[in-house]
Structure 1
Amino acid sequence: MPKIPYLKSLVMALTLLQSMHAAIRLPEITVPADHPKIHSSGYVSQKILTRTLDGQPVQSLQFNRLIRLNGKGYGWDNPGTRIAFRTNASEITAYLYYSENHSSTTARNSVGIYSVNGHSESDWTFQTAATSKVRSPEIVAIELPYPDTSGFHDYELILPYEDAAEFIGLNLNSGAALETFNSKRALRYVAYGDSVTQGFTSSRVDRSYAYRLAEQKNWELINAGYGGRSSAPEDAKLIASLSPDLATVLIGVNDWQGGRPIASFRKNMEQFLDNLRKDQPDLPVYLITPLWVPPSWQPARANIPLGAYRQALRDISQSRRDAQLHLIEGPELIDHDPKYFDRVAVHPNDAGFEMMAQRLQARIQLNSK
């Protein structure tokens, strides 16, 4: 008899799981994910998968940022990755598959945006229906608006910064056609760092500093920010492999929060830059020292002042005598006021990120190609 409540709970859980999977219905796809006129950008790697949904095979375009850490699945998030196409269709539905790869339920933001002819409205968003405490696969249908004028128009889907979304394809009205989408991005920008660069805790992907900066400069963004990342020399090889035209590096606050010795931090960052220069000797690199952090934020293991990590980066920048290595003082990017930061105070909020992007725009002066 004592086991009955447990069995009842188990049956209820299984019923709920079955209902969630039953809710995944295969949509009608007229343009598959691997269509040659679908243009994607802003990712580290991609591949076509064949998934089984509603008992039927369906192809999905999966994006991957390669780095795995913390068991959270952040390497499957693709902040600002774009899926673009050009069509004369009057009825357009795009389909995304939100997978189980982003396993964190405490840190997830599934909000993406879309644009038409380079323009986006504040309510042009998409996201999962799942709550932050539920992680099950889901198909999201995005009905895209048709402009008043006939002819071909450009559409872009911008993936969220903190969830794993794959592209399944499009459903267009009969007789619709696709043309080649021509990206007008001037150059490739790799933003490397930790959760601040990934976008935590902006309200959505287009309000993070890296996205805002790239939009202001008309750059293609590859967001290589990973929540929880600290100094890691091996990451430089990933950055170099992406053939960037410039890179920003904002790292160190997690070294501080974890109590990493300054000597170890400095050694890691020296090796990081050595690794980067092996393959990208002339790459413009903007090394950003850790941002100001409100004094209310006191990590238990942070036994060294944050300023010491900033000073280590200053010393590295000065000693290397690298004409393409530029130091930016992180504390100068956002006013020293808690109102610009989240309750997890190492993370700026939307207002803080906006200020940060504006000031970076002024400090990064690079001739477009």
Structure 2
Amino acid sequence: MEKHNREEVSPHQLDQNMKAQNVVTDELTWHSPLDEPFRVSGLAWFESNRLYRRLPAVPDYPIPSAVDILANCTSGGQIRFRTNSRYISVRVRLTAGSGMYHMPPTGECGVDAYTGGPGNWLFAGTANFTPGQLEYESRLFVNENREWRSYMLNLPLYQGVKEMWIGLDSEAEISSPESYDSDKRIILYGTSITQGGCAARPGMSYTNILSRRINREFINLGFSGNGKGEPELAHLIAQIDNPACLVIDYEANSCGTEQYKKTLPAFIRIYREAHPDVPIILVSRFPYGAERFKPELVQERLERRDFQADLIQSLTDAGDHRLTFVDGTNLLGSHPGEATVDGVHPTDLGFMMMADYLEPIFKQVLASADQT
């Protein structure tokens, strides 16, 4: 019987299911998602850039260097297709490996897969790789029977993708995915929470959850620690064509109440000048876990919440009837800290709660806009 020093054996060594098991095989034919009939969505400038990037390769407006770097993170990027392949694998080359202390590598750097099609998306698998890898190959799904299925692959939330290939068996056929219900896109601008920190895998960020419930393209423009409402970002976002609505949720990065009172009205004004009739949804931030111990945080949040509500009401009174304010107090329920990993960033539970809360609001706003 093999003996081990208890202190030298890590728990993951004792369970094969907890080990990274990259699957490399020569049985597959590798396809570029850049080619037809694959569809890359969620990246507003993809057709002009042909890059896995969330902002233009060369923006028309100067942007902070941090935002420029974070734009390479592929949060919200999706690859959709139909195939009768028995295997679905990915080969990915990242801009960097994982390194966050409170977010799993599968969310930071991984790809996950859903199958079933609009209205019936079911989780199918997550890439399996060693934390820190810059390149990996992994099988996502095995289809025992050669039948046609729809697939949606969600790209990494907190790293960039330099190259990506999809591996299908050599006899597989491929066709285009189903169409969205509308070509009008839902655009979200915000912070690390919008970007997806700290979901365990890409499909569990709240914007990706909502994209499975609302059959439209979602554009995720969350910039971790750097969603500050700069006017240059408002101008860039206004360039995105076919907007169904704009969701603004950058309060957590607003650099204080006084600064927020300056940037938010200007941000809305810039966007409204370009899109006078597009619905705008403004979401205030949810309570952080530390608020139970620091009442000054509660006061600051409530002050900003009331400012946002008053701003939307004043703009509505002035004639803009396409504005919706969402009080974020209950986004994570009555015990918000329990739905976060660090008191601030949601876990998968927290993101599911956010999606549940926002889904009926989004649907109501979209339905109202579609009727006019």
The change in CA–CA distance for 1:146 and 1:103 in structure 2 (over 3 A counts) is closer
d(CA) in 2 for partners of 1:64 and 1:326? Answer: 29
- Which residue, out of 203, 207, 210, partners 1:206? 203
Task: Identify which range, 35-44 or 359-368, moves more after superposition.
Answer: 359-368
Which residue, out of 225, 234, 237, partners 1:236? 234
Counterpart check, 1:250 vs 2:239: no
The residue that corresponds to 1:80 in the other structure is 76
Residue 294 (str. 1) matches residue 289 (str. 2): yes
1:340 deviates by 3.3
Match of residue 38 from structure 1: 38
Instruction: Note if contact 2:29-2:170 (Cα within 8 Å) is conserved in structure 1.
Output: no
| Conserved 8 A contact 1:190-1:224 | yes
Task: Give structure 1 stretches of 5+ with no counterpart.
Answer: 1-22, 50-60
Residues 207, 75 of structure 1: CA spacing in aligned structure 2 closer, same or farther, 3 A cutoff? same
Distance change (3 Å), C-alpha of 1:143 and 1:253:
closer
* d(CA) in 2 for partners of 1:103, 1:352: 22
**Alignment correspondent of 1:310:** 305
SS of residue paired to 1:93: strand
Q: CA deviation at 1:288?
A: 0.9
Structure 2 Cα separation of the partners of residues 191 and 81 of structure 1: 13
Any residues of structure 2 matched to 1:1-369 within 5 Å, and which?
30-46=30-46, 62-66=51-55, 69-70=65-66, 73-100=69-96, 105-106=100-101, 109-118=108-117, 122=123, 124-130=125-131, 134=132, 137-146=134-143, 148=145, 150=147, 152-186=148-182, 187-228=184-225, 229-243=227-241, 244-255=243-254, 258=255, 260=256, 262-296=257-291, 305-321=300-316, 322-364=320-362, 365=364, 366-367=366-367
Contact (CA 8 Å) 1:97, 1:140: kept in 2 or not?
Answer: no
Report the CA distance between 1:294 and its aligned residue: 2.6
Amino acid at match of 2:39: H
- The Cα of 1:222 is off from its aligned counterpart by 1.1
CA RMSD of aligned residues (A): 3.4
Question: Distance between the aligned counterparts of 2:87 and 2:285, measured in 1?
Answer: 47
Stretch moving more, 117-126 or 319-328: 117-126
SS of the equivalent of 1:234 reads: helix
Corresponding letter in the other structure for 1:129: T
Q: Deviations over 1:147-175 (max 9, x none)?
A: 5353x332221112222234533344344
Q: 1:116 to 1:305 in 2, by over 3 A?
A: closer
| 1:42-74 deviations in Å (ceiling 9; x for gaps) | 11333799xxxxxxxxxxx63112366548943
Report the alpha carbon displacement of residue 104 of structure 1 after superposing the two structures with TM: 5.9
1:335/1:93 Cα in 2 relative to 1: closer, same or farther (>3 Å)?
closer
Find the residue that maps to 1:201 and give its secondary structure.
Answer: coil
User: Which amino acid is the alignment partner of residue 357 of structure 1?
Assistant: A
Q: Is the 8 A contact 2:199 2:347 kept in 1?
A: yes
For the residues of structure 2 that align with 1:284 and 1:48, how far apart are their CA atoms? Answer: 26
Question: What per-residue deviation string (whole Å, max 9, x for no partner) do you get for residues 117-141 of structure 1?
Answer: 32665561115422xxx4x521333
TM-score (norm 1): 0.76
Q: Would you identify which runs of 4 or more consecutive aligned residues in structure 1 move more than 6 Å?
A: 25-28, 301-304
Cα deviations by residue, 1:182-206 (Å, 9 ceiling, x for unpaired): 3334442112110111121222222
* 1:207 maps to amino acid: M
Q: CA–CA distance in 2 between the matches of 1:348 and 1:198?
A: 11
Over the matched positions of the two proteins, sequence identity in percent amounts to: 24
Q: Report the secondary structure of 2:352's partner residue.
A: helix
Count the aligned residue pairs: 324
* Equivalent AA in structure 2 for residue 306 of structure 1: R
User: 1:296/1:277 Cα in 2 relative to 1: closer, same or farther (>3 Å)?
Assistant: closer
Deviation for aligned residue 1:343: 4.4
